[in-house]
Amino acid sequence: MTLWWVQLALNWIWSPIFFVLHAPLVALAVVASMLIAIIAFIATSWRRDRISAMLFLPYAAWVSFASLLNAGIVVLN
């Protein structure tokens, strides 16, 4: 559950960092950390709770896409 809480906390802080503080570089570090935590959650829960791991696959895909968008904003600014 630790990885689940970590990704949840990172998800919670990403929006204010990106949209309120206007700090896309810091937000990119947060979203990259979030993606790592999500992938780690999938890997560690795959054998014990495959349904939970599989339910995180679309979330990982979405966060990957959000990471690319965030990175694009960093590069363009």
* Ramachandran quadrant class, 22 (left: phi over 0; alpha: psi -120 to 50; beta: rest): left
Question: pTM score > 0.95 for this model?
Answer: no
The per-residue DSSP string of the chain comes to: -HHHHHHHHHHHHHHIIIIIS--HHHHHHHHHHHHHHHHHHHHHHTTT-HHHHHHHHHHHHHHHHHHHHHHHHHHH-
Instruction: Determine the pLDDT at residue 29.
Output: 98
In this predicted structure, what is the pLDDT of residue 8?
96
Model confidence over 43-55: pLDDT tens digits? 999 999 999 999 9
48-72 average pLDDT score: 97
Angle, CA 32 vertex, CA 31 and CA 35 arms, to 5° = 85
Position 12 scores a pLDDT of 97
pLDDT recorded at residue 67: 97
